[in-house]
Amino acid sequence: MNNLVPYISAPRKTVDIDLVADFTCPWSWLGMAQVGRALGNLQGSIVPEVRWHPFRLRKPGADDANQPFRRYLEERLPNGITVDFAERSLREAGRELGLRFNFDQIETVPDTTEAHRLAFLAAREGLQAHVAAAVFRAYFEAGRDIGDSETLRQIGAEAGMSVEVLQQFRDSDEGSSDLLKAEERLRGFGVRGVPNLLFNGRVFVPGAVDVNTYILALDQALFPAIETPTEGEQPVVAKPTLH
């Protein structure tokens, strides 16, 4: 009888969360909040360790530098889905998570290079996830220009980053090469969009999903049937229940 019951290991005390996202993607912000809600459903003392992976949907110097946000959003929607429907759905989903999507406040789509660099430097003070959330909130709630370095410095200060790190952000291009290498590596892995999440290096969730899917993914990551994956084992893919 025992041979028929899979071995369930003890839950880890930490869960590693690798998040591939961009700051102008509303589903990235929604996904970040949904993961937070899913973590709140876990039993016991579980500490999340979030690693931010930059993936710019609009590359610097692109012809659509001043593209209106609505057109940018339209280009990323499946056939048959209108911008009005998408915005309404995002507002409703965000409201359940305490997020406010004020699309009327957003005019154009900025280059997010500097915003990703700010998040990179925030990791040195253990504030990466906190600063990333602040950048999302500044863009989608207040329509602030997150492509502007001074605006980003203000956001970083409001999120608790130190004067020293913010001065480094202002006076150098620290983190730029790391950003480029990280993005090239992701493209090499076949990443073409955001958000994407990987839990404990073994459970992969592609695209925008709902809270229940993230709960399932966390459960699979924290309670694996086998503690150590076999050599060459591929990550488990949690199937989305909502697109």
Residue 131: inside a domain: yes
Find the mean pLDDT for residues 6-27.
Answer: 79
Residue 7 placed within a domain: no
Domain with residue 73: its CATH number is 3.40.30.10
- Domains of the chain: total: 1
Q: Residue 55 belongs to what domain range? A: 12-237
Q: What is the pLDDT of residues 136-189, one digit of tens each?
A: 999 999 999 999 999 999 999 999 999 999 999 999 999 999 999 999 999 998
1 falls within a domain: no
6 within domain boundaries: no
Residue 211 falls inside a structural domain: yes
pTM: 0.85
The predicted pLDDT at position 234 comes to 52
- Round to whole Å and give the CA distance between 86 and 67: 18
> Has residue 16 been placed in a domain?
yes
pLDDT digits over 65-118, tens only? 678 999 999 999 999 999 999 999 999 999 999 999 999 999 999 999 999 999
208 lies in a domain? Answer: yes
Q: In what order do the strands lie in the sheet with 203-206?
A: 47-54, 14-21, 196-199, 203-206, 236-237
Domain assignment present for residue 110? The answer is: yes
Helix, coil or strand: residue 223: coil
